[in-house]
């Protein structure tokens, strides 16, 4: 649905999962800071509104929108520590940027490359990557979608991230090999195989 027919900040809070146990990485483009800072602020406020601990939100900045996919990849593999609450790894990564149409086709190349890059990350990783990038025709349209009359895409990106993490958890998508190794070491041969007898074929 077109943004002009739908407010980006409107949603039913009763339909949003609790995000208390979720951690998020956010990568923000510095280009068009008036827009991206507004998107970031709304995104973080929405995450914490639904239960996310501020310590579980990691924000990094990149020069421009084109750099988002690579930094998102790095973020997906990142770990950060809070002195009081321990270590966090992201359950989802949110990319925030703004590409405004210019006099050349530069914006088209950037938008296509970034959207494809984020899509490829979604296919390569088990965690979701959220496309929180505006692609307006002019500054006015950008402002309208960064807290103006059409809401704030930062809110939409946060809600999408929470919903996708909740869906992944419900489908047991997230898998920690370290936890599996610990569990495996605690199991006896009989518990794992149903038998204490092993037979090996000799070559």
Catalytic residue among 50, 106, 112, 150: 106
- Give the separation between CA 35 and CA 145, rounded to whole angstroms: 9
**Burial class for 201, CB neighbours closer than 10 Å (0-12, 13-18, 19+):** exposed
50 is catalytic: no
∠108-112-117 over CA atoms, to 5°?
A: 150
Rounded-to-integer distance, Cα 14 and Cα 17, Å: 8
**HSE (CB half, 13 Å, CA atoms) of 102?**
11
Determine the Cα angle at 196 with ends 192 and 198, to 5°. Answer: 95
Q: Which two tokens stand for residue 136?
A: 């307006």
- The residues annotated with a catalytic role in the active site are 106
């Amino acid at each position: 649905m077109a943004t002009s027919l739908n407010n980006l900040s409107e949603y039913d809070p009763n339909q949003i999962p609790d995000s208390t146990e979720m951690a998020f990485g956010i990568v923000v483009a510095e280009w068009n800071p008036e827009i991206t800072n507004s998107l970031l602020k709304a995104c973080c406020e929405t995450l914490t509104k639904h239960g996310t601990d501020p310590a579980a939100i990691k924000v990094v900045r990149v020069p421009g929108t084109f750099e988002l996919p690579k930094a998102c990849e790095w973020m997906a593999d990142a770990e950060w520590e809070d002195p009081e609450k321990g270590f966090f790894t992201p359950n989802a990564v949110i990319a925030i940027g703004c590409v405004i149409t210019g006099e050349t086709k530069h914006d088209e190349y950037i938008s296509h490359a970034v959207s494809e890059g984020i899509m490829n990350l979604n296919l390569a990783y088990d965690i979701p990557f959220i496309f929180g990038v505006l692609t307006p025709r002019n500054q006015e349209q950008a402002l309208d979608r960064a807290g103006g009359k059409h809401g704030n895409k930062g809110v939409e990106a946060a809600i999408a991230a929470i919903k996708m993490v909740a869906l992944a958890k419900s489908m047991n998508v997230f898998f920690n090999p370290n936890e599996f190794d610990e569990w495996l070491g605690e199991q006896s041969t009989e518990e794992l195989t149903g038998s204490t007898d092993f037979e090996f074929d000799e070559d």
